[in-house]
C-alpha cells in the first residue's frame, strides 16, 4: 500500500517528538516534512532537537536529515508536500487558531493536539473510541472554510483520557455526577526532570486552565450534532481538581461517581471488559485490542508499571469499590503523551483515513 505523506507542525517539541517516533515504521503513514519555529527552521531535525531529545528511543533514522521548515512562513509549501499534518505547537491560542486555519484553507487536513480549536462549534473533538460519529460535522466545517479537502479535527485534553473513557460505557446508567482529582505527569507540561528539577520531591497544586478543561471537554465529546454544530451534552456534572506530580509520564485520576440507575460492581467491570469502539471494529493499526483494562490487584494501576499497556494506547482502571458519599470510586490511568496526545492524534488520523475523510493525493 502506498503510504500517506505526513507533516508534523511543532515536530521538535515534546508531543512533536512523540509523533516523529510514532511515524517510524507506521504501516500507513510516512513522515516527509517537519516544521517548527523560525529558531529551528533551516536546521536538520537532528540539529534542531540536539540536547532536548526527550524520548527513550533514539531519533528515528528517517527523521534525522529532514530539514526543518518554518511552520508559519512555509504553509503553502508544506501543504503542497503532504496529505495531512499533525499539529502540536506552543504558541498563543489566537495564533494557533489562525495557523491551523491557514493549513486547512490550503487544503491540508490538520489533526491537532492544541486546545485552540477545541470549542470551535464545527470542529470535532474526538476520542476515537468515544465519539467517532462527530466526524460527520466535517462537511459543514469545509463549507464554512470554503475548502474541498482541508479541515481541522482535534483531540481532547490529555487529563480527560484518564477517566472519561471509563465513564463512557456507563452512561447507559445515567451518570448523575462525577468528581475527579487528577495527578498529572510532568511531560504534560512539555518537561522532563532534567529541565524541571523543581518537580523532584514536589507536587504543584495548580495547572493553569486544566480544571475547566477536565470538567467541560467530556461534555463536548458526549455532545450531538445539530444544524452543523456540535452541541455539548447537558450532563453529567463533573467537578475536577488537577495536580502536577513528580511522575515522568502517565496521568492518574481518582474518580467518584453517582448514577441515576446504580449498576452493580460486576456490571461495571463487565461493561469495561466488553467495550469495543470503532477503532477496534476497524482494527486500526494504533488501536489497542482491549481499550479498557481492569486490574483486580489493589495497588494497580501504577504509572510506571501500567502506562505502556498496549503501546500506551489502553486506559486502565483499578480499585472499584462503593463510596460513602458517591455510589462508587475507582482509579484510572492513561499515558498522557501517547493515548493523551500524539498516540491519540495518530489513532484519530487512522480513523479519518479509514472513514474516507483524508485521501492520498501527494505522490
Ligand atoms: N505534552 C503533552 O502531554 C500535551 C498533551 C496534549 C496536548 N498538548 C499540547 O500540544 C502542544 C505542544 O505541546 P508540547 O508539550 O509538545 O510543547 P513544547 O515541547 O514546548 O513544543 C512546542 C513546539 O512548538 C514550536 N513552536 C513554538 N513557537 C512557535 C512558533 N512561533 N511558530 C511555530 N512553531 C512554534 C516549537 O518549535 P521550536 O522547537 O523551534 O521552538 C516546538 O516544536 C501545546 O499546545 C500543548 O498544550 C501537550
Name the region of 201 (left: φ>0; alpha: ψ -120 to 50; beta: rest): left
CA of 287 to the centre of ligand 1 (A): 25
User: What is the predicted pLDDT for the residue at 190?
Assistant: 87
* Pairing assessment for the beta strands 292-295 and 328-334 based on DSSP bridges: unpaired
Name the pLDDT band for 14 (thresholds 50, 70, 90): confident
Please state whether beta strands 4-9 and 84-87 pair in parallel, antiparallel, or not at all (unpaired). parallel
Confidence at 307, pLDDT banded by 50, 70, 90? very high
Q: What is the pLDDT of residue 258?
A: 98
**Distance, CA of 138 to CA of 182 (rounded, Å):** 32
Find out whether the beta carbon of 71 lies less than 6 Å from any atom of ligand 1: yes
Which of ligand 1's atoms lies nearest the C-alpha of 337? Answer: 3
Angle between helices 93-105 and 138-145 (to 10 degrees): 90
* pLDDT, averaged across the chain: 97
Establish whether 251 is a catalytic residue: yes
Which residue puts its alpha carbon closest to atom 4 of ligand 1? 188
Using a 10 angstrom Cβ sphere, with 0-12 exposed, 13-18 middle and 19 or more buried, the burial of residue 309 is buried
Strands 110-112 and 69-70: unpaired
Q: Please identify which residue in the block is written with the cell numbers 479535527.
A: 153
Does the C-beta of 340 come closer than 6 Å to ligand 1?
yes
pLDDT band, residue 1 (cuts 50/70/90):
confident
Task: Set out the domains of the chain in order of their start, with CATH numbers.
Answer: 4-157+342-354 (3.40.50.720), 159-334 (3.30.360.10)
For the stretch 69-125, pLDDT in tens is 999 999 999 999 999 999 999 999 999 999 999 999 999 999 999 999 999 999 999
Rounded CA separation 124/110 (Å): 12
**pLDDT over 70 percentage in the chain:** 100
Q: What are the residues whose beta carbons fall under 8 Å from the beta carbon of 172, sequence distance 6 or more?
A: none
Q: What is the pLDDT of residues 150-174, one digit of tens each?
A: 999 999 999 999 999 999 999 999 9
72 lines ligand 1 (CB under 6 A): yes
The pLDDT value given to residue 25: 96
pTM of whole model > 0.75? yes
- State the greatest distance between any 2 C-alpha atoms of the chain, in Å, as a whole number: 61
Bond prior to 236 in cis (omega within 30° of 0): yes
Q: pLDDT tens-digit profile of 263-283?
A: 999 999 999 999 999 999 999
At 216-250, the pLDDT tens digits run 999 999 999 999 999 999 999 999 999 999 999 99
Indicate the pLDDT class of residue 352, thresholds 50, 70 and 90: very high
pLDDT at residue 328 greater than cutoff 80:
yes
Residue nearest to atom 35 of ligand 1 (CA): 37
Residue 363 has pLDDT above 80, yes or no: no
Atom 18 (ligand 1) nearest CA:
13
Closest residue to atom 46 of ligand 1, CA basis = 114
Residues 11 and 35: beta-carbon distance below 8 Å: yes
Measure CA 232 to chain center: 19
Residue 28 pLDDT:
98
Is-contact 155 341, C-beta < 8 A?
yes
87, 108, 158, 353: the active-site residue: 158
Amino acid at each position: 500500500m502506498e503510504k500517506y505523506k505526513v507533516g508534523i507542525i511543532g515536530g521538535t517539541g515534546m508531543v512533536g517528538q512523540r509523533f516523529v517516533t510514532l511515524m517510524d515504521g507506521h504501516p500507513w503513514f510516512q513522515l516527509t516534512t517537519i516544521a517548527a519555529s523560525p529558531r529551528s527552521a533551516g536546521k536538520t531535525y537532528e540539529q534542531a532537537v540536539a540536547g532536548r531529545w526527550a524520548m527513550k528511543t533514539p531519533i528515528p533514522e528517517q527523521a534525522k536529515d529532514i530539514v526543518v521548515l518554518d511552520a508559519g512562513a512555509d504553509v503553502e509549501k508544506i501543504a503542497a508536500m503532504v496529505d495531512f499534518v499533525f499539529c502540536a505547537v506552543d504558541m498563543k491560542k489566537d495564533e494557533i487558531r489562525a495557523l491551523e486555519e491557514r493549513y486547512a484553507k490550503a487544503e491540508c487536513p490538520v489533526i491537532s493536539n492544541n486546545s485552540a480549536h477545541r470549542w470551535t462549534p464545527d470542529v470535532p473533538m474526538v476520542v476515537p473510541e468515544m465519539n467517532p460519529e462527530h466526524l460527520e460535522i466535517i462537511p459543514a466545517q469545509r463549507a464554512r472554510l470554503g475548502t474541498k479537502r482541508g479541515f481541522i479535527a482535534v483531540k481532547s485534553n490529555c487529563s480527560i483520557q484518564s477517566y472519561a473513557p471509563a465513564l463512557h460505557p456507563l452512561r447507559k446508567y445515567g451518570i448523575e455526577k462525577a468528581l475527579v482529582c487528577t495527578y498529572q505527569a510532568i511531560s504534560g507540561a512539555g518537561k522532563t526532570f532534567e529541565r524541571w528539577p523543581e518537580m523532584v520531591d514536589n507536587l504543584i497544586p495548580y495547572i493553569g486552565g486544566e480544571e475547566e478543561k477536565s470538567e467541560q471537554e467530556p461534555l463536548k465529546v458526549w455532545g450531538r450534532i445539530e444544524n452543523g454544530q456540535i452541541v455539548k451534552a447537558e450532563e453529567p456534572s463533573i467537578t475536577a481538581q488537577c495536580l502536577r506530580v513528580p511522575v515522568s509520564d502517565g496521568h492518574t485520576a481518582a474518580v467518584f461517581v453517582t448514577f441515576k440507575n446504580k449498576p452493580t460492581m460486576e456490571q461495571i467491570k463487565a461493561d469495561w471488559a466488553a467495550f469495543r469502539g470503532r477503532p477496534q471494529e476497524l482494527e486500526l493499526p494504533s488501536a489497542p485490542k482491549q481499550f479498557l483494562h481492569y486490574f483486580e490487584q489493589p495497588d494497580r494501576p501504577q504509572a510506571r508499571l501500567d502506562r505502556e499497556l498496549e503501546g500506551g494506547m489502553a486506559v486502565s482502571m483499578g480499585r472499584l469499590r462503593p463510596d460513602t458519599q458517591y455510589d462508587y470510586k475507582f482509579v484510572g490511568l492513561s499515558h498522557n503523551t501517547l493515548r493523551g496526545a500524539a498516540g491519540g492524534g495518530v489513532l484519530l488520523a487512522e480513523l479519518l483515513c479509514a472513514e474516507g475523510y483524508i485521501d492520498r493525493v501527494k505522490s
